A and B are shown apart, each in its own frame.
Chain A
Amino acid sequence: MSPLAAYPAVVVAAGIPVWIHGATPVMLLSLAAGALLWIAVTWRSLGSGLVGALSATAAYAIALWIEPAAGIVEALAFGASLLIVLQHTDFARRFHGAEVMPAIASAAFWRWFVTVMLAAGAIVALTAAVTFVTDGAPPAFRPLLTGIGAFLALGAAIAVFGRAR
């Protein structure tokens, strides 16, 4: 992980709420969030990163509340930028002062990239499924699709909790 990736992510995370709507409370919250996230990246403070991310989320929520028109891409970029800032801060905090093999840092970045890609894929798939169910599928198929969805969710929950034990 490199600060070169984290600092632009701070700008994105603090900038997206202002870009959606530049109201004064949004700007103030975004400014505070940007400063806190910048402190988190620079001084490896996960606490500051948490407060900064919560402030950015609050600013984003207010901007969405004021502005009815917003996109899915911005939302994904906002989540991905928060993830990379927090992940970088934690990485730098954990291994500060240690000699880190380059493969470790590239693996962490690769994991972030895969996560974002998976998130994008999941969002696209869910959007397509919702569109298909609400508009395309015949009403008779809806209980069947709900049953399949519930079955998959139950299977995923069992898999996750089983592994955790």
Chain B
Amino acid sequence: MSAKASPLVFVLAAVAAAALLGAVAVDRIELVIAAVPLLLFLVRVDARPPAGFALAHALSTDRTTEGDTVAVTITLTARTDLPCIEVLYRLPAMAELASGSNRRVLKLAEGESESWTLEVRFLARGHTRLGRFHYRAWDEAGLSAVEGRYEDLVQVKVYPAAVPIRYLPRPRRTRSSFGNHVSSKLGQGLEPGNLRPYASGDRLRQINWRASLRTGRLYVTEFHEERNADVVILLDTTADIGRQPDSSLDYCVKAAAALATGYLRHRDRVGLITYGGNIQWIRPRTGRRQIETLLEALLPASMAVNYSFQGLDLLPPRVLPPGALVIALSPLIDPRFTKVVANLAGRGFDVLLLALSPLELMKPFVRSSPLDDLAARLWTLNRRATLDALQDIGLPAVEVRPDQPFDAALAPLARAGRPRATRR
């Protein structure tokens, strides 16, 4: 490491030289006297800045979600006297400083250490690395500095934020396991179903006294069973529009995380299929661990370029169970994905398409001109025609605008009243 002189050295030298030249030119000692403080300041006590220190950082957690903060504690220990050291804790591209300072100037005596804490907010999902330091050790007068870098990298997993959803689309078919969806099958449950005459073996608390008194015969109330369902989230990674953290894929990943978390809280089995370069999947399972598995799979989701067409016909039933509710999330840009969704609907799957409108995401990057406006209108019409064609084959397709809450986009599906679930 070599010490670099500060620009102040040259500035002071230039002003002092000008004063001395002026003294000669006008033949006055006062200008020499004026130059004396400037020249004395340049006489350094110690020309080489010291740089004996140790840097360390500790993170409050190595797992977080988008928009959340992680506390970072940085400790600087001086091995020699440090008259002035500047430490910059470099933040990755998709992180910002929430509180504290990531650039500090300190003065430490030999053996002293100083700790400070800052909070880093993560703006986008993904694997992020923290722990890049830049330092600059100045001499006593600030006239020369030694610069360097130090790395102690720690990986932080930033999971997509899953917002709670009130209106989860109901699956048409349920499984035989216990869950929260009202099944068409009658049995033990909370939702009242039919009335039937009392039969031997019926419980006394099942007797519907109002109907029995009116007819003079004993009647019992039957209940609908509550069962769980298979839900498969189909994520389109063939195209991505916009810039992280607000790209179309980011929005779809957030929606997938929200849906997965919502259905898993309802005790459903949730799986994931990522349709892009290669088809990747997570088998439908239930439980808290599955939330982590799905979020882990969504973490690195990125656009994959592939020119071949791959259908989902060959996927085994344990990945795509027959009769599962398939929720497709896509900006509907690649026609191959539209074809895959139509094929699934044709094979009898309960498919629901949530089509993200990419026009709002494009606006910041496109200048407003008559030609661009016309192109946007044509694109809108083309998308509308695609959605209408899918609805014509019986596939419920909803357009989702990125500027509206995801919950609001799902509300029409709940209001439309999808048919009650039938048991397979």
Residue from the list A58, A123, A160 in contact with B43, Cβ < 8 A: A160
> B116 — which chain A residues lie within 8 A by C-beta?
99
Whether B34 lies near A82 (C-beta < 8 A) is: yes
A50 to B7: give the CA distance in the assembly, Å.
Answer: 10
Q: Is B394 an interface residue (CB 8 A)?
A: no
The closest CB in chain B to the CB of A164 belongs to B47
Whether A115 lies near B142 (C-beta < 8 A) is: no
Q: Is B103 an interface residue (CB 8 A)?
A: yes
Whether A98 lies near B86 (C-beta < 8 A) is: yes
Q: Is A22 an interface residue (CB 8 A)?
A: no
Residue from the list B18, B28, B38, B105 in contact with A101, Cβ < 8 A: B105
Q: Is B375 an interface residue (CB 8 A)?
A: no
> A98 — which chain B residues lie within 8 A by C-beta?
86, 88, 101, 103-105
Whether B105 lies near A79 (C-beta < 8 A) is: no
Tell whether A80 pairs with B37 under 8 Å between CB atoms, given A57-B31, A60-B22, A61-B25: yes
Interface size class of A (residues with CB under 8 A): 35 or more
The closest CB in chain A to the CB of B20 belongs to A57
Whether B33 lies near A79 (C-beta < 8 A) is: yes
A98 to B25: give the CA distance in the assembly, Å.
Answer: 43
Whether B104 lies near A57 (C-beta < 8 A) is: no
A118 to B40: give the CA distance in the assembly, Å.
Answer: 8
Whether A115 lies near B40 (C-beta < 8 A) is: yes
Binds A, one of B8-16, B196-204, B206-214: B8-16
The closest CB in chain A to the CB of B11 belongs to A50
Minimum CB–CB distance from B396 to chain A (whole Å) comes to: 52
Q: Name A99-124 residues within 8 Å CB distance of B.
A: 99-101, 103-104, 107-108, 111-112, 115-116, 118-119, 122-123
A98 to B86: give the CA distance in the assembly, Å.
Answer: 8
Residue from the list A53, A99, A116, A119 in contact with B15, Cβ < 8 A: A53
Whether B15 lies near A50 (C-beta < 8 A) is: yes
Whether B31 lies near A75 (C-beta < 8 A) is: yes
> A115 — which chain B residues lie within 8 A by C-beta?
37, 40-41
> A38 — which chain B residues lie within 8 A by C-beta?
none
Whether A86 lies near B33 (C-beta < 8 A) is: no
Interface size class of B (residues with CB under 8 A): 35 or more
The prevalent SS among residues of A at the interface is helix
Minimum CB–CB distance from B272 to chain A (whole Å) comes to: 43
Considering residues A57, A87, A107, A118, which has the most beta carbons from chain B within 10 angstroms of its beta carbon?
A57
Tell whether A90 pairs with B38 under 8 Å between CB atoms, given A64-B30, A65-B26, A104-B84: no
A91 to B40: give the CA distance in the assembly, Å.
Answer: 18
Kindly supply a per-residue 1/0 record for chain A positions 66-110, scoring 1 wherever the CB is within 8 Å of any chain B CB and 0 otherwise: 000011101110111011001100110011011111011001100
Minimum CB–CB distance from A73 to chain B (whole Å) comes to: 9
A160 to B39: give the CA distance in the assembly, Å.
Answer: 13
A123 to B30: give the CA distance in the assembly, Å.
Answer: 11
Tell whether A72 pairs with B47 under 8 Å between CB atoms, given A82-B15, A95-B86, A111-B141: no
Minimum CB–CB distance from A5 to chain B (whole Å) comes to: 15
Q: Name A35-73 residues within 8 Å CB distance of B.
A: 46, 49-50, 53-54, 57-58, 60-62, 64-65, 70-72
Tell whether A75 pairs with B103 under 8 Å between CB atoms, given A54-B18, A61-B26: no
A101 to B38: give the CA distance in the assembly, Å.
Answer: 26
Residue from the list B6, B14, B25, B105 in contact with A90, Cβ < 8 A: B6
The closest CB in chain B to the CB of A80 belongs to B37
User: Can you list 29 pairs linking A and B with CB atoms under 8 Å apart?
Assistant: A46-B8, A58-B18, A61-B22, A64-B26, A71-B30, A72-B30, A74-B30, A75-B30, A76-B36, A79-B19, A79-B36, A82-B34, A86-B11, A87-B8, A87-B142, A90-B8, A95-B86, A95-B105, A98-B86, A99-B116, A101-B107, A104-B107, A107-B83, A107-B84, A107-B140, A112-B41, A115-B40, A123-B33, A164-B47
- List the 6 shortest-distance A-B pairs measured between CB atoms, nearest first: A61-B22, A79-B34, A99-B101, A75-B30, A75-B33, A98-B103
Given contacts A64-B28, A87-B41, A160-B43, 14 further A-B contacts (CB under 8 A): A49-B11, A50-B11, A58-B18, A83-B41, A90-B11, A95-B86, A97-B103, A99-B101, A103-B107, A107-B140, A111-B41, A115-B41, A122-B40, A123-B33
